[in-house]
Amino acid sequence: MTEVFPFLDSLNSIPGVRAGWIERVPDLPICGDRDEVMKLLRPYHERAIIDFAGGNARWWRAEQIHGNSVAVIPGSPQIIAPDGLPIVPDADGLVTCQPGIVLAIYTADCGAIWLADRKSGAIGLLHSGKKGTEGNILANALRVMASEFGTRPENVTAVLSPCIRPPDYEIDFAAEIGEQASRAGIGNFLDCGLNTASDLRRFYSYRKELGKTGRMMAMIVRD
């Protein structure tokens, strides 16, 4: 399940950094609400984490409330989500500088943004859709990484995942994320350019499937 995606090459070429992406699970019927869907996807995503980082991997997820709060991992509190696994409450972004910690974000039209500081080794993963982009979660994450790890934007490689785009969505938040990356001075930014609403064989799309859909998963770890 942990395929190699060329749009992650700039991250995976950084020594000690591994980034992953899980698309639609083939032949898995999806017809319930978010909580039911996450329970269905749990065994597939747990297996993906093992394939990605090994059976002893420490796995951290954000609650994802469409805000711009970024949590430092470890050290942040956790609660149990409806799928039975822990999440960091009120957070839409996670950052760490510790090896062996897998950060994970779910998406179904919103964008995931992978971050890697080529100098300090710090990594991050953000959930940025319409609201997260309006709140500039990217700039907030860079501020947290600067404060916690000494990160400088020019040393950061950032990648934007597949997400919904015009003409399937009236707001081009992907373009705005690119502008935010430029204004922040990020040294290496890549937008993969893929539209989740355009290929339901590969992607889940909340808008195209009227809310009855699954979630892709973005992952990053520092070895």
Residue 98 included in any domain: yes
Query: In this predicted structure, what is the pLDDT of residue 1?
Result: 44
Residue 111 included in any domain: yes
pTM (2 d.p.)? 0.97
Q: For residue 96, what are the domain limits?
A: 6-222
Total tally of structural domains belonging to the chain = 1
* Alpha-carbon span 185 to 12, nearest angstrom: 21
Residues of the chain with pLDDT under 70: 1-2
| Of 19, 87, 85, nearest in space to 53 by CA | 19
Query: In this predicted structure, what is the pLDDT of residue 65?
Result: 97
Cβ atoms of residues 135 and 90 within 8 Å: no
Residue 1 included in any domain: no
Query: In this predicted structure, what is the pLDDT of residue 31?
Result: 78
* Alpha-carbon span 177 to 137, nearest angstrom: 9
CATH number at residue 142: 3.60.140.10
Residue 126 included in any domain: yes
Query: In this predicted structure, what is the pLDDT of residue 2?
Result: 55
pLDDT in tens, 3-49: 779 999 999 999 999 999 999 999 898 877 888 999 999 999 999 99
Residue 213 included in any domain: yes
Quickly list DSSP for 123-138.
Answer: EEEEEESHHHHHTTHH
Residue 146 included in any domain: yes
Residue 89 included in any domain: yes
Average pLDDT of the chain is 95
Show the tokens assigned to 192: 């993969």
Residue 22 included in any domain: yes
Query: In this predicted structure, what is the pLDDT of residue 182?
Result: 98
Burial 112-121 (b: 16+ CB within 10 A, else e): bbbbbbbebb
